[in-house]
């Protein structure tokens, strides 16, 4: 679904990513793991088409920005770490705007909105303006706007910030359901949650992919016992990389 091949990129005058390659397949929730400054956000911006790569390729469901920018952008939705909402639009109007942008039919949009709002306990807030939302409500609003599109690829950046434990649990259940027909790439620092719900992991360090695989494969790669947690694996991976560089 998502294919990133030898991606070199970053910002004007500063290269951040170095030959980054990985895939996210349909039916997978893949965790993008890295320290602050590792290049996670830069990778996401390149996938979203917000930055132009120096070289390499990013492909979503067979499309690239070069082959068809319109089709490419309709294949990906995004839940950012910091909610971005229009204070003059209600939550329902935000969702309707997303539906139009992604060509979701009105009937289908209504069905998805009704169900997702109930699941996220936001039914009463559909006709509220974001200016009265709590931090958690604003994050839920962004989640609803992204999930109603049902794009082939969903990108999620630190989705649990501001959410209470019940909302986190419900969101993870929605991810499990969403990925049955789609693919999800999730950046998070909460490794305990990632270990329980992600199918594979991509470790990014200083703009380089240093490890890629399931928890079992990574334990084997770093010769760790079966009870080693994702935190243990990640620490060893970083230490090994820094010792070898």
Residue 245 has pLDDT above 70, yes or no: no
Residues 21 and 64 in one domain: yes
CB atoms within 10 A of CB 163: 19
> Given 134, 150, 166, which residue is the final one in a domain?
150
Higher pLDDT, 3 or 37: 3
The mean pLDDT of 195-214, rounded to a whole number, is 95
CB atoms within 10 A of CB 84: 11
Provide the pLDDT for residue 159.
85
Residue 81 has pLDDT above 70, yes or no: yes
Number of domains in the chain: 2
CA distance 106 to 135: 29
| DSSP per position, 6-50 | EEEEEETTEEEEEEEEEEE-TT-EEEEE--TTSSHHHHHHHHHTS
Residues 95-115 have pLDDT tens digits of 999 999 999 999 999 999 999
Residues 21-47 have pLDDT tens digits of 999 999 999 999 998 889 999 999 999
CA distance 186 to 198: 9
Residues 14 and 58 in one domain: yes
Residues 180 and 235 in one domain: yes
The mean pLDDT of 12-16, rounded to a whole number, is 91
| CATH code for the domain of 65 | 3.40.50.300
pLDDT over 90 percentage in the chain: 84
Residues 221 and 113 in one domain: no
> Cα 94 to the chain's mean position, in Å?
20
Domain of 23, in residue numbers:
2-75+152-244
The mean pLDDT of 61-78, rounded to a whole number, is 93
Q: What is the rounded average pLDDT for all residues in the chain? A: 93
Residues 61 and 161 in one domain: yes
The mean pLDDT of 171-192, rounded to a whole number, is 91
Residues 15 and 108 in one domain: no
């Amino acid at each position: 679904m998502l294919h990133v091949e030898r991606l070199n990129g970053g910002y004007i005058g500063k290269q951040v990513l170095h030959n980054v390659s990985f895939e996210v397949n349909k039916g997978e929730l893949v965790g993008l793991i890295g320290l602050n400054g590792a290049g996670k956000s830069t990778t996401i911006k390149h996938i979203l088409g917000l930055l132009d790569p120096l070289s390499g390729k990013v492909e979503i469901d067979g499309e690239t920005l070069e082959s068809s920018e319109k089709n490419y952008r309709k294949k990906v939705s995004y839940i950012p770490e910091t909610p971005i909402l229009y204070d003059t639009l209600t939550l329902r109007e935000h969702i309707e705007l997303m539906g139009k942008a992604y060509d979701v039919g009105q009937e289908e949009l209504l069905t998805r909105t009704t169900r997702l709002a109930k699941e996220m306990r936001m039914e009463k807030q559909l006709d509220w303006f974001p200016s009265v939302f709590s931090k958690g409500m604003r994050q839920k609003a962004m989640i609803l706007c992204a999930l109603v599109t049902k794009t082939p690829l969903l990108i999620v950046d630190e989705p649990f910030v501001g959410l209470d434990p019940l909302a986190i649990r419900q969101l993870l259940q929605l991810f499990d359901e969403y990925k049955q027909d789609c693919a999800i790439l999730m950046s998070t620092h909460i490794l305990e949650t990632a270990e329980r719900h992600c199918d594979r992991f991509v470790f990014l360090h200083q703009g380089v992919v240093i490890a890629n695989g399931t928890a079992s494969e990574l334990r084997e790669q770093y010769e760790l016992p079966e009870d080693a947690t994702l935190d243990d694996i990640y620490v060893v991976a970083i230490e090994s990389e820094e010792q070898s560089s």
